[in-house]
Chains A and B, each alone.
Chain A
């Protein structure tokens, strides 16, 4: 690079800002997975049972699985347009550590796709007759779990970015990996319902989040380098 050197922090912020701006301009990519999430959750009472006792039992699982499916759909847009217009190659050529640039992209993606889902979850929990004392745990577990999904999904998206139709292969690769998050997320809510402390499960999720934040962007970066020759 010639001229003024930018700091890594500035590059991080610039990537974050750019991705948020693009997301804001292409609202379809955000709105559709969000709508998908709400619609899938609304289908369960119709398909299983409208009785609130039944719904209380399955509420946490239904919300969690719908979140996983919705995040699958929204992941697809993470690197696609950047790959198509060539800015992904620019990102790889940048002198800054790829780790932070990928992390910035993941964070911005989570802000526009994960966070709305977390925020709307109490409303859906109410519709699924989840007792109100479990709302806090549900929101916290989603707050810890959805970023892990974004980080893990990012690896799979990066590996398949060059493919024409990757919607299904993305799900085949990523969904089995989301089992631990699903387990701890739903167990946390269940334990609150059984008036036990969910702190243990939530801290385990925090551990998984910290490990994913420190390792997943490395794997995503390596995967991007493999996909973009």
Chain B
């Protein structure tokens, strides 16, 4: 177990292994993405309450669910960086923060699009999910800006690891306190939040396919960007130079 663990920490080993996985992951991603997008966006019957607008939710729910995975991922990567000083964990964490910010932004954007039709407003403070997603985005941007501010990469790795751990705990507290704050203001809410639960088994199957597709997309992007990071940081290593010469 420990041999495997320390092996996983070696960038070279990860680079070679992920190279073998990538074609399969990309193929699976393309298949799921194609089925989910084509079926979900073009053929899914309209919801009886929401009409065709419910199709936005297929993408939105999948992206939103995935964007919640980033802080736990960074928490784990941060712990590994601080405890075992594993370089690979930091490379993953660095790209996870950037991807996480994008996913949070896309979640907010697709949510607003859907909300603009269903709720008649692009932004609604009384919906706690919107508000806590906004603050998750802010926290992720904080991690990114801390990394870009620190010049020494070793200090940046540890500092961002610590901030990710603190941030992950904070995201949970923010989520629950915003929900609480909201239940108290819900009375004055002009929009009907219950409209966000469309029905029909097709809808859920399509959403499920999209969730798998988006998770595969996340894995592929994370692996690709981590591979880039490995090549950049290990550019002085012999095996990287051999690899560059070969290609």
| Chain A residues in the interface with B (C-beta under 8 A) | 155-156, 159-160, 162-163, 166, 169, 172-173, 175-177, 179-180, 183-184, 187, 208, 219, 222-223, 226-227, 229
| A229 and B139 contacting across the interface, CB-CB below 8 Å | no
| A223 and B146 contacting across the interface, CB-CB below 8 Å | no
| A219 and B162 contacting across the interface, CB-CB below 8 Å | yes
A219-B155 contact, Cβ under 8 Å, with A176-B138, A183-B177: no
Contacts of A173 in B (CB 8 A): 142, 145-146, 163
Contacts of B184 in A (CB 8 A): 187
Docked pose: A227 CA to B157 CA in angstroms: 11
| Chain B residues in the interface with A (C-beta under 8 A) | 82, 135, 138-139, 141-142, 145-146, 149-150, 152, 155, 158-159, 162-163, 165-167, 170, 173-174, 177-178, 180-181, 184
| B177 and A180 contacting across the interface, CB-CB below 8 Å | yes
| A172 and B155 contacting across the interface, CB-CB below 8 Å | no
A184-B177 contact, Cβ under 8 Å, with A160-B146, A163-B150, A172-B142: yes
Max chain A Cβ within 10 angstroms of own Cβ: one of B141, B149, B180: B149
Contacts of B167 in A (CB 8 A): 177
A229-B146 contact, Cβ under 8 Å, with A159-B163, A180-B174: no
Contacts of B163 in A (CB 8 A): 155-156, 159, 173
| A179 and B149 contacting across the interface, CB-CB below 8 Å | no
Max chain B Cβ within 10 angstroms of own Cβ: one of A160, A173, A175, A229: A173
Contacts of B174 in A (CB 8 A): 176-177, 179-180
Q: Which residue of B lies closest to A226 (CB)?
A: B158
Docked pose: A179 CA to B181 CA in angstroms: 11
Contacts of A180 in B (CB 8 A): 170, 173-174, 177
